Amino acid sequence: MSSQPDLAVLEAALGYKFQDREPLSRALTHKSWAYEQNSRERQALHNEQLEFLGDSILGFLVSEGLLRRFPLYSEGRLSKMKAHLVSAGHLHRVAQELNLGAYLRLGRSEEMSGGRHKKALLGDALEAVLAAVYLDGGLERARAFVETRILPLPEDVERLAAIEVLDYKSALKELAQAWRLPPPQYVIVGESGPEHAKIFTVEARVGRDLKSQAEGTSKKAAEQGAARGILEQLQTGEARPVNAPQPEAWARRFQNAAKL
C-alpha cells in the first residue's frame, strides 16, 4: 500500500492512545519491509523483537486472567483454554477484528503474496502491538487490552471451557510419558528461502523407532507438523514402539481432537 492508514483509528480500536507512536509503528513493520530499506540496523526497524516480548506478556496475562475468571478450574482445563487463546487462529481473528492488516508495513514480495491476510503474520503483529502497548503505557494498559480483546466474552465462556485444543507437541509428549518412552526431540535439519521468508525443516524423534519431518514458515510450525507426523504414524499403525500398549484409546482421542 502506498500509505499507512491513520493510526488514530487503530488506537481507538485498541482502546489505547500512545504517548509515543514509535513502538506502535515498529510493531506494525514486517521484516520484509525492513530488509528493503537502506540501513545497517535492519533489526531495529521491524517487529520481531517486539513479537518476542509480546508473546511472553500475552502468556502471562492470559494465564492470570483465566485464573481470576475460573478459580475452581483444574490446571489441565486452564492450560487447554490458554492454548486456544494464544493460538495463531484466535490471534488471527482478533487481528482481523482490529483490521490490523491494513496498517502493516510490508515489503513488495510479502505484499504481493497476500501478507496482509496471513494468519501467522497477523498473529505475530498482534503480539508485537501488545508489547508496544506495554512499553508505552505499562502493564496495566497491556492487561486492559488483553482483558477486552483476547480473553473470552461472557457468552463464550461455556464454549471455551469445554474446548479441547489439539497441540501436537504436547500430545506427543504426553503419549511418550504414558508409554515410558524418551521425550520427543526436535532438530532443524534444513532451511530454505530468502531471509524474510524462510522455510524450516524439522525432524521429530522419539527414541530410535519413531521419526518424522515437516516444513513450516516458523520453527514452531515445523515442530508441530513433525509431531503430528509421528502421531499419525502411530494412529494408522505404520509405526509402533516396542512394548507399547495397544493404541486404540489414543487413536480415538486423536481422531476426536483432529476434528476441531
Predicted confidence at residue 145, as pLDDT, reads 95
Residue 205 sits in the same domain as residue 187: yes
Predicted confidence at residue 184, as pLDDT, reads 94
Q: Is residue 2 a part of any domain in this protein?
A: no
Cβ atoms of residues 195 and 113 within 8 Å: no
Number of domains in the chain: 2
Active-site residue flag, 248: no
Residue 25 sits in the same domain as residue 149: yes
Catalytic residue among 55, 64, 167, 209: 55
Catalytic residue among 51, 110, 124, 127: 127
Residue 190 sits in the same domain as residue 235: yes
Q: Which are the contacts of 234, defined by CB distance < 8 A and separation ≥ 6? A: 175, 210, 240, 247, 250, 251
**Phi/psi class of residue 114: alpha, beta or left (left: φ > 0; alpha: ψ in -120 to 50)?**
left
Q: H or E segment at 211?
A: strand 210-216
Residue 150 sits in the same domain as residue 245: no
105-143 pLDDT per residue, tens: 888 877 888 878 888 889 999 999 999 999 999 999 999
Active-site residue flag, 48: no
Overall pTM > 0.85: no
- Write out the residue range of the structural domain in which residue 175 sits: 168-258
Residue 181 sits in the same domain as residue 146: no
Of 142, 161, 180, which residue sits at a domain end? Answer: 161
Residue 76 sits in the same domain as residue 204: no
Which CATH number fits the domain that encloses residue 100?
1.10.1520.10
21-64 pLDDT per residue, tens: 999 999 998 888 777 776 555 556 788 999 999 999 999 999 99
Residue 21 sits in the same domain as residue 96: yes
Residue 205 sits in the same domain as residue 98: no
| 44 vs 190, more confident | 190
